[in-house]
Structure 1
Amino acid sequence: MSIRTLIRGGLVVTASDELHADVLIEDGRVAALAAHASAAAEAWTADRTIDATGKYVIPGGVDAHTHMELPFGGTSASDTFETGTRAAAWGGTTTIVDFAVQSVGHSLREGLDTWYAKADGNCAVDYAFHMILSDVNERTLKEMDHLVGEGVTSFKLFMAYPGVFYSDDGQILRAMQRGAANGGLIMMHAENGIAIDVLVEQALARGETDPRHHGEVRKVLLEAEATHRAIQLARVAGAPLYVVHVSAEEAVAELAAARDKGLPVFGETCPQYLFLSTDNLEEPDFQGAKYVCSTPLRPKEHQAALWRGLRTNDLQVVSTDHCPFCFRGQKELGRGDFSKIPNGLPGVENRMDLLHQAVLDGHISRRRWIEIACATPARMFGLYPQKGTIAPGSDADIVLYDPHAEQVISAETHHMNVDYSAYEGRRITGRVDTVLSRGELVIDQREYTGRAGHGAFVPRSTCQYL
């Protein structure tokens, strides 16, 4: 039986508005909003009333880039869909878009069905899928049309990782042309993987094996070159383009130049590039391995360009690229050879809090926080207004956020299934208090009340910016 819920007394913050309003929830959706203490709000009755006095009432976060249970480098990401979505809920994220993987020689259907099976019945919050194209051919190009029809409307290709995920320019162009025809959005990992492999081989031959060399060989210019090339291929194909995990000033400049021409080109960055740097990769005693990801962490001076890109809308989304590997037993696979360190960082639980700290630090506004973490990813990937906002008819994915609570991020207290935190010891202000997913309490005043299997697969429409 559906519970009628009333959230009273909070400051509702969306990408477009801030208002002191009460929120009425029925049948898992937002039924109405009304000014606090107004006649309309006072007339409402409910089975359950939640006091939001002194708190923000914000849409649940939409993390459009996660990798739960991803096989990589002889091991697998340490978060399952169960542990990862539970951690997401603790961090105020109520929808993830994960990446299903097509293996070379296999169909898209096989890869997608494998990911359906991993997620089904295990998720604490709602989920959707992108599709990684590892083998572009006539059969898989036709399959793209079918996937768009069932709500998997975005496809990721890699200019990196030759022999694993890599696609050449011809394959990329064909996939972009298909996306232009069927409405699918092409997502691009933009690094020149062929050139990087040469630099890796040369570095190892010189005896440069420590984690810091991972960042040194994956050069800024090779990210910028690949970003430029991807943009030009998208122009030839007449297709939109979404560049994932942008890490460097030069790549932002390529996106800005394309957008200045009016091209449908979009960019995402991640908290690790905004808050961490090559200083972390250089930590002694192999501790730098904790921070190995691709694209890699950059020198601190790149952070200003990323924040500026978020303010000017040359970057539109902050996702996590959550892909955790434990330090012990997983990251340690790369001792003596940085190229064998599994690539990825944990972060699905930290994104909303870190971005709130960015509001307090003056990098972005409060509404921009909600825009880049909730509304824009929902629009970009065909989930809006079901997700990403608080409006009549939207799913009641709602977070009560305490903007004054102080916390210290630590592996001792986080809920991700990984033995370290990338932000260990960082003091921040702001914390999730209560989380509802489709009107059901998942976090209730800092107590987990959710369950595996509550989260449902959400079919997506096509990108709403086109």
Structure 2
Amino acid sequence: MGILIKNGEIITAADRFVGDVYCDGGKIVAVGTGLVKQGQDDVVIDASGQLVFPGGVDAHVHMELPFMGTESSDDFETGTAAGVAGGTTSIIDFVIPGRGQDLLDGLAMWKEKAKKAVADYAFHMAVTWWGDKTAREMEHCVREEGIPSFKTFMAYRGAIGVDDVELIQVMEKAKELGALVTAHCEHGDAVVALQQRFLREGKTTPRYHAESRPAPIEGEATARAIMLARMWGEPIYIVHLTCIEALDAVAEARRRGQVVLAETCPQYLLLDDSVYDKPDFEGAAYVMSPPIRPKGHQDALWAGLASGLIQTVATDHCPFHQVGQKDMGRDNFTKIPNGAAGIENRLGLLWTYGVLTGRIDANKFVDLFATQPAKIFGLYPRKGAILPGADADIVIFDPTATSTISAKTHHHRCDRNIFEGFEVKGKARYVIVNGRVQFNDGKLDVQRGAGRYLPRKLDKVSAPVRQ
């Protein structure tokens, strides 16, 4: 049974036109005008007055992640379902082995967890330590598992963080394999020292999570990661960039032709650090790393998106309940699990506060939301495109619909929403995943386990990307 989408305004990263899309067998078969049904049972969706986008690709999520003595509250089923409700039809999660655990043991764990996914998924592999087998396991990931991207944490010392020697070893091996290193950039030792100082001084509230991880600490680590990548001739992707200092380091590297790619997230574009002063421990809902920044950084990030310094907007979706999880750190901010929900809200927030405010245009929106993450991480044109042969992952978007974000109505399995009360104009009316309508006018119709694993291969990562 095919699906024929008629008379929608199709918006891609490069084009905008009124036309039709015909899907069959889980693929886009034709894009044009005057298309007609090919089978008697084909579903016809009249998209007149609606916008048609490729399904979103969120390249940075953490479903059911064991972390800080608990586990993120969305599993692969509920998290990908929330994504579908928000127009995200593919995710890239992170396999994060414990320090001392073999990479492939961690991969086996994540493969098992991901069997519940309702939408397609891929993996990044985190290298959390360097051992005798690490280089061989990285090679296996790239050549046998289709995992050509490796995550490194410059924070979380003593847990999943790596030191500079280990980071260099990862870069050397990734260079040999043609893989991409991604980096969480914070000066881990400085963070620990500030945390200890604040605790000695009796400063235990969520505000001091942010104070212990100030913007210069992110800026320094970003510059250091970029320098090491430069020395080893390895491209690098900076995850969840939040601040002017880090953006400046990216801009300097790009000016000299270095291959540096970057992502940011809606929370860093739209919130400021006043959220940590909310009463009754509500500031804990916003505890994430890096933290929300003071006013001023947000405008710089929007400018970075518009200029091309930042290529993607992901979510770092990693939710924890306020009650029963975040409150583990009520008397000690270092024990508050780091992370928040966001996969369902990326579409509406980027459209409302990016496109409708004139900060980015509609084509840039599609590029940030779907096309660039697919291209960078080896999923394009299967994902992130409305082209014949691409997977039939499509969002039909009503630009006139309005809604208010709330934990009472979202699909995240989490008791808080960091965008609570945000007014959004425009929402997904239909979301087609793998050629099947899985979201229809507010109603999810997903299938547990329907998501497919997406092996990836990177192309042209080492070609300079300039502004």
The residue type paired with residue 10 of structure 2 is V
| Residues 447 and 207 of structure 1: CA distance in aligned 2, closer, same or farther (over 3 Å) | same
| Alignment equivalent of 1:383, drawn from 372, 379, 382 | 379
Cα offset for 1:186?
0.4
Deviations 1:295-335 (A, max 9, x none): 11001210011000001111101000000000001110111
User: 1:418-462 deviations in whole A, cap 9, x for unaligned?
Assistant: 001111111110101111111011112322111111111111111
Give 2:12's aligned residue: 14
Q: Deviations over 1:62-116 (max 9, x none)?
A: 0000000011111110001011011000000000000011222221110011000
Stretches of structure 1 lacking an aligned partner (at least 5 in a row): none
Cα distance in structure 2, aligned partners of 1:146 and 1:392 = 32
User: Which of 347, 352, 355 is matched with 1:352 structurally?
Assistant: 347
Q: Matches of 1:90 and 1:214 in 2, distance apart?
A: 31
Mapped partners of 2:320, 2:446: distance in 1: 25
Distance 1:297 1:69 in 2: 23
Residue 263 in structure 1 maps to residue 263 in structure 2: no
Q: Which residue is 2:226 aligned to?
A: 231
Is contact 1:124-1:454 (8 Å) kept?
Answer: yes
Give, in whole Å, the separation in 1 of the partners of 2:295 and 2:52: 33
Deviations 1:338-394 (A, max 9, x none): 111000010010001100112101111111010011000001110000000100100
Identity across the alignment (%): 45
- Choose which of 131, 134, 141 in structure 2 pairs with 1:147: 141
Tell me which residue corresponds to 1:285.
280
Count of aligned residue pairs for this structure pair: 459
Query: 1:324 and 1:455 mapped to 2: Cα distance?
Result: 21
Query: How many angstroms apart in 2 are the aligned matches of 1:198 and 1:366?
Result: 44
Matches within 5 A, 1:113-192: 113-120=108-115, 122-149=116-143, 150-192=145-187
Residue pair 1:380, 1:464 contacting (<8 A) in 2 also: no
- Whole-angstrom distance in 2 between the partners of 1:463 and 1:127: 19
CA distance in 2, matches of 1:219, 1:42: 57
1:367 to 363, 370, 391: 363
Runs of 4+ in structure 1 off by over 6 angstroms are none
For the residue of structure 1 that corresponds to 2:80, the secondary structure is: helix
Q: Is 2:429–2:440's contact at 8 Å kept on the other side of the alignment?
A: yes
Aligned match for 2:235, one of 221, 226, 240: 240
Instruction: Report the equivalent of 1:28.
Output: 26
CA root-mean-square deviation = 1.1
**Does structure 2 retain, via aligned residues, the 8 Å contact 1:434–1:443?**
yes
Q: Is the 8 A contact 1:6 1:50 kept in 2?
A: yes
Give yes or no for contact 2:2–2:38 (8 Å, CA) kept in 1. no
Per the TM alignment, residue 236 of structure 1 is displaced from its structure 2 partner at its CA by: 1.2
**Aligned-pair distance for 1:282?**
1.4
TM-score (norm 1): 0.97
User: Counterpart in 2 of 1:306?
Assistant: 301
| Secondary structure at 1:215 match in 2 | helix
Per the normalisation by structure 2, the TM-score is: 0.97
Query: Which residue does the alignment assign to 2:396?
Result: 400
Residue 138 (structure 1) shift:
3.3
Question: Structure 1 pair 315/463, CA: closer, same or farther in 2 (3 Å)?
Answer: farther
Counterpart of 1:372, as a letter, is: L
Q: Which residue of 2 aligns with 1:273?
A: 268
Rounded Cα–Cα distance in structure 2 between residues aligned with 1:436 and 1:124 = 12
Deviations for 1:217-275, whole angstroms, at most 9, x for unmatched residues? 10111100000000011011110100101000110010011011111111110011001
Query: Is 1:456 matched with 2:452?
Result: yes
